[in-house]
Structure 1
Amino acid sequence: MSFPNQTSLKSAIAELKEVVIRLHGADTEPVRLLGQIESCASEIETRANVPMVVAAQTLIVNPIVNPLAPPLSL
């Protein structure tokens, strides 16, 4: 389910950064902090985009992670 009126975290931070720059100027501490927050959001987004193949391989290597995995027959 998607909600078209919801903005992404990155775009919300970018909009906030534009407002802060207009009000306080570009070379201020709040703008630097928003830049750091922007970097953190990008890193989280990058880590969240792990391909399903990698996740599936992880479960095969370590079936303890998945309690629904069938028992391995040796």
Structure 2
Amino acid sequence: MANGWSLLIGLVVIVALCVGAYFLSPKGENQTIWRSTLILSFASCYIMWAITFLAQWHPLIEPRMAKLRHGYPGGS
């Protein structure tokens, strides 16, 4: 599934997980730490995945074969 919908579907899943982490975090004196840790972890993992996905989807540098002869496109 290598299209733009992957990013949107992933974002919807991460937002749902963040909302779930906000409301379902254990009650107590450490509730804020639990919430922030889970939400930041989900967001960081999504951002890392999205950057990796986009880097492979639209590469800035195209690979080139170095051993092509002069008469062929991409040859040196």
- TM normalised by structure 1 equals 0.44
More helix by share: 1
- TM normalised by structure 2 equals 0.43
